[in-house]
Structure 1
Amino acid sequence: MEAVRVRLFAAAREAAGTSETTVEAATIGGLLDALSQQFEDLGPVLTRCSILLEGVRTTDRAVAIEPGGTVDVLPPYAGG
């Protein structure tokens, strides 16, 4: 399994204390579980986030992540 680049935005960044990290995961579900374990305060935030794999939104935890892939974690936001 190869490391996946994870970019965290807004509340996800605040909960993790970083804007970017790497996680070893083969699927979206594995990545979300690993992030929740690595950053205790991030778990509750992840339940409300959009997950983008290579720029495409997914809600399927079984989706495979290509080695060296990039995942963006985007919490809901308001404004205008």
Structure 2
Amino acid sequence: MKVNYYAAAAAAAGTTAETVDADGLTLGALKAQLTAAHPPLPGQPRLEDVLARSSFLLDGMAGRDDARTLDGVSALDVLPPFAGG
């Protein structure tokens, strides 16, 4: 699955995109895996904190349920809150 990070999520992850194996994972498990894979960067927000307040698009469809399985999902967009929203 391709994970696309935007704004504060990209700053916290240290990248704008990456490919991960999410077969058999739930959204919650993937968030934990991403947090473990991206330790805090100096001067940046912690990815764990950003993910906790972000919205997610799963193949373009909104999804926030941590229990949702990701089998068959090819792209996850991580959208942190933007200014004014």
What's the TM-score bracket when you normalise by the shorter of the two chains? 0.7 to 0.9
Is contact 2:35-2:47 (8 Å) kept? yes
Question: Aligned residue for 1:29?
Answer: 28
Is contact 1:46-1:75 (8 Å) kept? yes
TM-score computed with the length of structure 2 as normaliser: 0.79
One of 72, 75, 84 as aligned partner of 1:70? 75
Question: Aligned residue for 1:61?
Answer: 66
Number of residue pairs matched by the alignment:
76
Name which of structure 1's ranges 41-50 and 4-13 shifts more when overlaid on structure 2. Answer: 41-50
Q: Percent identity?
A: 42
Name which of structure 1's ranges 19-28 and 51-60 shifts more when overlaid on structure 2. Answer: 19-28
Q: Identify unmatched segments of 5+ residues in structure 2.
A: 40-45
Is contact 2:59-2:73 (8 Å) kept? no
The 3 A distance-change label for structure 1 pair 68 and 47 is: closer
Aligned-residue Cα RMSD (Å) equals: 1.5
TM-score computed with the length of structure 1 as normaliser: 0.84
